Structure 1
Amino acid sequence: MGTLRQILQRGEFVTGIGVYDMISARIADRTSANAIYVTGYGTVASHLGLPDAGIATYTDMVGRIERIVAGTSKPVIADADTGYGGLLNVHHTVRGYEKAGVSAIQLEDQEFPKKCGHTKGRRVIPMADMAQKIRVASDARSSEDFLIIARTDARTGLGLEEALRRGEAYAEAGADIIFIESPESEAEMAEIAKRFDKPTLINLVHGGSTPILPKERLVELGFGVAIYPGLGFLAAAKALEDAFNDLAAGKENTTPIYDFAKFNEVIGFPEVWEFDRKYAAPGS
């Protein structure tokens, strides 16, 4: 499969399945998708049970990201919000994410505290301040195979043209992939994809502001990367709600469930059983 940079250089479209814990990561790793995306929204919700509103810290995130990288085989794209502070924080965050084995870090130009990109009340910092963050991030990495994704949230509050201007500034500052958050139509998506000579990323949130287009259409428009941060936790939440409500009401479960034997395989029990066969004392 290679690194994320190699995948992009080969002209392959990158599909980043959104994961938020080790169960979702293990299952995503068994698919034919060529990347994994660690969603800040989902990880904060799973770990803290709180909204993606600038509450989670670098420490909250980096340990979970490191575990996901270690437990999977695909390139991992990881959300790093605003870099968790100022320029020195960005430098520290880039070093930490790269050490954790991440293939690409996503940094955004929101004011702190940030908010999920498909929710209300987002405000952005000055373009020059974000461009400096991207320069710091680019200089902080030890390998060019570690990619910098620059996200702007300017579309919603300041319009598409301002978001595109910011994308150009961030590309010039050293970003490898440009991410214009929350376009509201296919026409806007087309304008974004054709504007840059670097790969562009589209964030497809089920129930969000951006149309969910098939992969073939995204390729036609010119995008290089698509991430799907919400599909996993939304599907899991619906299944849990239905199954738990039936259980609480004393009803027979009718929700489709994962095969238990297959889940044992996904989570790694065959390796445990092989270890026991090799090392455990007879009768233990």
Structure 2
Amino acid sequence: MNHAKTLRDLLAQDTCHIMPCCFDALSAKLIQQEGYDLTFMSGFAASASRIGAPDLGLMSYAEVVDQARNIADAISIPLIADGDTGYGNAMNVRRTVAGFAKAGCASVMIEDQLAPKRCGHTPGKAVVSRDEAFDRIRAAVDEREALRARGGDILILARTDARHDHGLGEAIDRAAMFAELGADILFVEAPKTEAEMRDVCANLPGPKMANIVEGGATPDLPNAALHDIGYSLAAYPLSLMASAMQAMVTTLRAMRDDARPNQMDFTDLRARIGFNDYYETSDQYASSKRD
């Protein structure tokens, strides 16, 4: 299945796709089961889930691409992966893009933060120079073209965090150059008002992504408003993680009081994980029926 082509087709539609973000294979399966067209592997949520640590550049390239591979193997909808800063210089960026393509991702995000990167809605962010930022995207696009020449494909999602220290104008200028260099999707992180969001979309070509963090810097607008502004994708990086964490804490506190929490029915749980599919397939093989 050509997930990159599927993603391009989705981006060509006149809509803003709601994109709940996953953090592991199970959360990605639930997103697909609920009928969403695509998902994004949130670096924030993946770091919390995999290593129990904040998204401050602690996960290595190998850990992140392994997480993405597990997710891509579990679903059939396009997955966009968080490639952070590309994990080094331009040659590292090329390796990162190739690695995520091999893992089955439809797109990979490369950003202009200074390593080690930080979550886009937390303090302490800084960006590299324009030249270094442009080199990262140029290298990512070059690897995309090399993949295409070999029969592969992946989209480049180019992100800038320049709004934080250098203002919206610098962020828009950087993103405009990312587009000139060949990036497929543009992401200006953390505009602070609806007016800033409109400036971003009015001044940049092609598909744009909004990043909606509940309680974060960017206004949490209805999807119809995001579409009207000009966004093609609306990522919700923490909605599932925050909901899952709240449910787990509530359950743990209830169990301590010897109460039984409200939770998913065991039959539904087994079905969503894939037990029924396993049994249906295994019935074709006599030896498997002993399992």
**TM-score, normalisation: structure 2:** 0.92
Stretches of 4+ aligned residues off by more than 6 angstroms = none
- 1:249 and 1:131 map into 2 onto residues whose CA distance is 56
Flag structure 1 segments of 5+ consecutive residues without an equivalent: none
- 1:258 and 1:73 map into 2 onto residues whose CA distance is 24
Does residue 253 in structure 1 map to residue 256 in structure 2?
no
Instruction: State the partner residue of 1:243.
Output: 251
Q: Aligned to 1:3, what secondary structure does the other structure show?
A: helix
**Contact persistence 1:105–1:147 (CA under 8 A):** yes
RMSD: 1.7
Shift of residue 12 of structure 1? 3.8
Shift of residue 13 of structure 1? 2.6
Q: Deviations over 1:219-254 (max 9, x none)?
A: 11111111111000000000000110111233x134
Shift of residue 57 of structure 1? 0.8
Instruction: State the partner residue of 1:14.
Output: 17
- 2:198 and 2:290 map into 1 onto residues whose CA distance is 65
Instruction: State the partner residue of 2:46.
Output: 43
Which moved further from structure 2: 11-20 or 230-239?
11-20
One-letter code of the match for 2:223?
K
Shift of residue 280 of structure 1? 4.1
Does residue 147 in structure 1 map to residue 150 in structure 2?
no
**Contact persistence 1:16–1:77 (CA under 8 A):** no
Q: Deviations over 1:118-174 (max 9, x none)?
A: 000000000111111111101102138521111111111111111111111211122
Q: Aligned to 1:159, what secondary structure does the other structure show?
A: helix
How many residues of Structure 1 are paired with residues of Structure 2 in the alignment?
282
Does residue 24 in structure 1 map to residue 48 in structure 2?
no
Match 1:121 to one of 101, 119, 124: 124
Instruction: State the partner residue of 1:270.
Output: 276
**Contact persistence 2:45–2:241 (CA under 8 A):** yes
Q: Aligned to 2:283, what secondary structure does the other structure show?
A: helix
Instruction: State the partner residue of 2:94.
Output: 91
**Contact persistence 1:203–1:227 (CA under 8 A):** yes
Match 1:171 to one of 162, 167, 179: 179
Q: Aligned to 1:54, what secondary structure does the other structure show?
A: coil
Shift of residue 180 of structure 1? 0.4
Q: Aligned to 1:105, what secondary structure does the other structure show?
A: strand
Match 1:192 to one of 200, 203, 214: 200
One-letter code of the match for 1:56?
M
**Contact persistence 2:24–2:70 (CA under 8 A):** no
- 1:95 and 1:150 map into 2 onto residues whose CA distance is 16
- 1:260 and 1:210 map into 2 onto residues whose CA distance is 38
Flag structure 2 segments of 5+ consecutive residues without an equivalent: none
Which moved further from structure 2: 141-150 or 227-236?
141-150
**TM-score, normalisation: structure 1:** 0.94
**Contact persistence 2:101–2:153 (CA under 8 A):** no
Shift of residue 276 of structure 1? 4.4
